[in-house]
Structure formats: C-alpha cells, structure tokens
Structure 1
Amino acid sequence: MANGTITQLRRGVLGPCVLALLARRPRYGLELARELEAAGELLTSQGTLYPLLGRLHDAGLVTSRWELGDTDRPRRYYEISAAGRRELAEFQREWAAFAGAVTAVAGPPSEGES
C-alpha cells in the first residue's frame, strides 16, 4: 500500500513542482526531468512528464515555444503563464497547512507517545 500511496502523492504534487521550476525560469522538457529526478522522489519516469506538460499547456498554465540551442536540434521551452503563477501561489498557500496536518496525524509519534 505504501508504494501506491507515494505514487498518488507524487501525481498530486508533480504539477505544482513543475510550475515552481518554471516560475524561476523557462526550461525545456529534459532539463525539467533532470531537475525533478535530482530532487529525488518526484519523478519516476520521464514518460510521465511530457503528458503532464501537455495537460498544463492545455489548461493554460504554461506556454511553450521552439528554440534552437547550442545544437542544431530545436528544443521546446516551457514557461509559466499568469494563470500558472496564480495556480502555483494558491498551491503554495495551501501546502504548508496541508503538509502540517498530514504530519500531525500520520507523522512519527512525538516523544512520550507510543
């Protein structure tokens, strides 16, 4: 059950984490994947990132553009939109309270508790 629970949690926070990275600066897909993988526990497969980026784009939370980089191969860069910034701000406001409530109920016992 724990593995399924973590998978569900990951699905719920991956979108806001992508928005948070894009709020710092535009990125291309593989760059996002590498940063999420480096953070640990957020991305289990690059195959989950690209459909998510498509859904964020369709929802108007990110925009994208093709650019030629250092290579001759174009890269699709994603950038957070104004709606994405609002969505991220709402998530950030609610996250601390939510995480605190989960920790209070499901976290390890405090000293003296068994």
Structure 2
Amino acid sequence: MAEASQVTIDRPLRIGDLAALTSTTPRMLRHYENQGLIAAERSPSGQRLFAPAVIDQVRSIRRLLKAGLPVDAIRELLDCIHDTDLLEPCAVPLLVEHLHAYDGRIAELTTTRDALQGLIDASSQ
C-alpha cells in the first residue's frame, strides 16, 4: 500500500479524509480553518471540502507548530510555503525574529535556573 504522501489525489477531500492523510484530527483541521491557515469549500449539504493541495499545507503547518511558532506567525508565513520541507527565503526574517525571542527566553530561564540552584546549594551546606 502506498503512503499517503505518494498517493495522487485529484478530488476534493472531506475533513475526515484530510485528517487521515495528515495524521491530525477533524477538530484540529477546523481550528486551522478558523484561524485562516487553510480554506475549505462547502458541498451543497454543507460538508467541508478541501483541495488536495491542503494536504501539504497541513503538513507544513504542523511542522511549523512543532518548531514552536505561534499560529499568528504561521499565518504570516503562508505565502512563503511552497514545499512541505522547504520554506522560501521570505520566511527567514520572521524565523530569525522568533529564534532571537527564544534565545532571550532561554537566557532568562538559565538565569532563573542558576538562581534556584544557588538557593539549593546554599541550603544544603
């Protein structure tokens, strides 16, 4: 059986099908849609129908979320995503901004950790 990433799909996908192909849940896909990260058409009966290209969009969104980016940042990067495994150069400034923010948080946490360790060490003597 071919993996979902190797299957060519040329029809709109219902939310359950998209969830199965992207290892996510319909609830998460509705959240992505509500946040403006993906779009769906509606069938005459009101079901969400997603274009096959949304498969790669969802995979990219999940990868960016896993990297620690907030939904607002991902929304800004949507035009810089043309390949699931590669971001366009237009993504770099925003990624650098978030990297610096994480570096600052890490430095603050390291300082806090060192202060706590100092209190522990002083109490153990």
Normalising by structure 2, report the TM-score: 0.31
**Highest Rg: 1 or 2?**
2
Normalising by structure 1, report the TM-score: 0.33
